C-alpha cells in the first residue's frame, strides 16, 4: 500500500507511532510530489496493469524491425495504447498519439520504398 520510506519519513516528521494516524497523514500528504522510485520510475501502474509490463511487449515486438526509426515509432505507439485506459480519464489523447506514431512509421516506410 505505502512504501516504508514514506511511512518512516512521516513518522520522523510527526513523531507518531500509531499506524492508523500515519496512514491518515500519508493520505493528506501530496504523494504525487513525493519521490516514490519503486512506483513512478521503475514500474508505473499505467504500464503494469496487464499480465506483462509494457516495456517487455515493446522489446519483443520491436525485435522484428530492422529500421530503428520504425521500431521506435511502433514501440512508442504500443506505449501509448497500453497506458491509454489507465493514465488519464479519457483515452482519446493517448490513442491519438499512438495513431500519430504509426503514421510516422508508415510515412517513413513509404519514403524508404520510393
What is residue 45's predicted lDDT score, i.e. its pLDDT?
61
Name the band, by pLDDT with cuts 50, 70 and 90, for residue 64. very high
101-114 per-position pLDDT tens digit? 999 999 999 999 87
Do the Cβ atoms of 107 and 75 come closer than 8 Å? no
Residues 63 and 32 in one domain: no
The set of residues, in sequence order, having a beta carbon less than 8 Å from that of 26 and lying 6+ positions away, is 2, 6, 7, 10
Supply the DSSP symbol for 42: I
Q: Count CA within 13 A, CB hemisphere, residue 79.
A: 13
pLDDT digits (tens, 9 = 90+) for 5-49: 655 665 666 566 666 666 666 666 555 444 444 455 556 565 566
Task: Answer yes or no: do 102 and 57 share one domain.
Answer: yes
Taking the C-alpha atoms of residue 11 and residue 93, their distance in angstroms, rounded to an integer, is 40
Task: Report the C-alpha gap between 110 and 85 in whole angstroms.
Answer: 31
61 shares a domain with 8: no
Report the predicted TM-score, pTM, of the whole model to 2 decimal places: 0.59
How many domains is the chain built from? 2
Same domain membership, residue 59 and residue 35: no
Question: What is the distance between the alpha carbons of residues 9 and 36, in angstroms, rounded to a whole number?
Answer: 12
Shared domain check, 71 and 18: no
The residue whose grid cell reads 493528506 is: 28
81 and 52 belong to one structural domain? yes
Whether the per-residue pLDDT at 74 is higher than 50: the answer is yes
Domain that holds residue 8: 4-42
Are residues 23 and 55 located together in one domain of the fold?
no
Amino acid at each position: 500500500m505505502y512504501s516504508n520510506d514514506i511511512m518512516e519519513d512521516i513518522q520522523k516528521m510527526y513523531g507518531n507511532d500509531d499506524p492508523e494516524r500515519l496512514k491518515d497523514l500519508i493520505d493528506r500528504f501530496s504523494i504525487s510530489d513525493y519521490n516514490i522510485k519503486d512506483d513512478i520510475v521503475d514500474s508505473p501502474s499505467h504500464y503494469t496493469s496487464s499480465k506483462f509490463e509494457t516495456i517487455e511487449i515493446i522489446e519483443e515486438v520491436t525485435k522484428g524491425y530492422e529500421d530503428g526509426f520504425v521500431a521506435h515509432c511502433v514501440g512508442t505507439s504500443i506505449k501509448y495504447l497500453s497506458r491509454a485506459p489507465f493514465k488519464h480519464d479519457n483515452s482519446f489523447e493517448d490513442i491519438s498519439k499512438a495513431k500519430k506514431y504509426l503514421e510516422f512509421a508508415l510515412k517513413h516506410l513509404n519514403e524508404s520504398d520510393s
